[in-house]
Amino acid sequence: MRIEGLNIANLANGSQKSFSIDDERKVRVFYDKQISDEVPGDTVGDEFKGYVFRITGGNDKQGFPMKQGVLVPSRVRLLLSAGHSCFKVRRSGERRRKSVRGCIVGPDLSVLSLVIIKQGENEIPGLTDVSVPKRLGPKRANNIRKLFNLTKEDDVRKFVIRREVTPKNADKKPYTKAPKIQRLVTPRTLMHKRRLVTVKKRQQEKSREAAAEYAQLLAMRQKEQRERKEELRRRRSSASRNSVSKQ
């Protein structure tokens, strides 16, 4: 058993490429390393001379992903819940026992994912000599302001990065699409917020009035109950005095 391939990503230009490994001696340098460890790439091949990689993950022969923090070189079953990696929540509060691969690299892995930390002397075709532009621009209002160095007074909607869409039908003309800006403060959102605050205050006032009315009614009922008990006590005492006087 050996690692069959390396999936190397270059974060500087957004490119990614997979390499097949034929000789096990080339990947022995990764054995017993953990996720987030940095490994020199000199032994992997002559084209990787001077490169330094960081391990970011991988999959074993059956496709189970590596999970950070599981310090074993094999597969284990863990009880996972919301917030854990390698787990997708289907319903609120769900927990499920799932099989995951430990974070220590071993020969049972099929693919190992790496990231270039330091670039070497030679260019790697398809990885370091290309630049992949970002397909989408920022969507959040503050991120758009940060990208174009805008102020609060500038209209963010005029600076949204649009992308061109080519229809599958050749007869139709290409058109552009823009994302819906998130966390955009407009007069309508402010009006909606003021309305919600007014409704909330109205509900609180109504609850206070209802609580005061209930407290008043409860006090009246308790007073009536005390009066009935006092009247009953007086009747019993007068009846007992009459019976004693007759004797």
How high is the mean pLDDT of the chain? 91
Greatest CA span in the chain, whole angstroms?
Answer: 125
Distance CA 84, CA 195 (A): 38
3-state secondary structure 69-101: CCCCCCEEEEEECCCCCCCCCCCCCCCEEEEEE
Name the band, by pLDDT with cuts 50, 70 and 90, for residue 46: confident
The model carries a pTM of 0.65
Task: For 65-104, write each residue's pLDDT tens digit.
Answer: 999 999 999 999 999 999 999 999 999 999 999 999 999 9
Average pLDDT over every residue of 131-138 = 86
pLDDT digits (tens, 9 = 90+) for 139-155: 999 999 999 999 989 99
| pLDDT tier at 14, thresholds 50, 70, 90 | confident
Task: Decide if pLDDT at 246 tops 70.
Answer: no
Q: How far apart are CA 145 and CA 149, in angstroms?
A: 5
